[in-house]
């Protein structure tokens, strides 16, 4: 029997203060094989490449999907790098594992900051925009099914952290 394994992925909750209010980036999912998930709201995210460190994956995926340059990743300064073993430890904000449907994936979500302005869309996403977190909380409460399942737990935890 062939063993199958969950794919590791990274998701980014990108924060920015705009006019004194906290915002994050959301986008509409648009993947080649996205099927019914296309059009759902999601965070920038993607799979880790072989031997790519988690923080480099955050930076790469955020840039590929939004055009933004990550300037800070919460917890990165506490990373321990073992040069002799070529390993790191890292502490994501939240980890979500898909237990059924679609494909088996484990997504490590990080909170970060980035500079620049988002592109309008990429080959994997559309309508990339900043959303004020109070508006996000209402949208998630009232239209939960419009969000990509792998991001819901992380977003709810993030909103709870912000007392929403």
Answer for the pair 60, 47: CB distance below 8 angstroms, yes or no.
no
Encode pLDDT of 59-102 as tens digits: 999 999 999 999 999 999 998 888 888 899 999 999 999 998 77
The pLDDT of residue 116 is: 97
Rounded to whole angstroms, what are the CA distances from 33 to 11, 102, 162? Answer: 19, 10, 34
The pLDDT of residue 4 is: 86
- 110 pLDDT band, cuts 50/70/90, is very high
Q: What is the pTM of this model?
A: 0.94
Helix (H, G, I), strand (E, B) or coil at 8: strand
Rounded to the nearest 10 degrees, the angle between the axes of helix 133-142 and helix 149-161 is: 130
- Residue range 148-156: average pLDDT? 95
The pLDDT of residue 37 is: 85
Structure tokens at 2: 């062939």
Higher per-residue pLDDT: 33 or 58 = 58
Structure tokens at 129: 């925009």
As a whole number, the mean pLDDT across the chain is 94
The pLDDT of residue 85 is: 87
């Amino acid at each position: 029997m062939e063993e199958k394994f969950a794919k590791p992925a990274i998701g980014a909750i990108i924060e920015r203060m705009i006019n004194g209010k906290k915002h994050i980036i959301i986008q509409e999912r648009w993947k080649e094989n996205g099927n019914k998930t296309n059009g759902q709201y999601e965070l920038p995210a993607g799979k880790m490449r072989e031997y790519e460190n988690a923080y480099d994956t955050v930076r790469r995926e955020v840039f590929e999907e939004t055009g933004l340059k990550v300037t800070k990743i919460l917890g990165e300064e506490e990373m321990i790098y073992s040069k002799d073993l070529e390993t790191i430890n890292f502490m994501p904000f939240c980890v979500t594992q898909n237990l059924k449907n679609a494909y088996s994936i484990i997504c490590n979500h990080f909170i970060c900051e980035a500079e620049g302005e988002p592109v309008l869309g990429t080959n994997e996403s559309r309508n990339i925009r900043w959303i004020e977190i109070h508006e996000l909380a209402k949208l998630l409460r009232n239209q939960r099914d419009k969000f990509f399942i792998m991001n819901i737990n992380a977003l709810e935890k993030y909103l709870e952290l912000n007392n929403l």
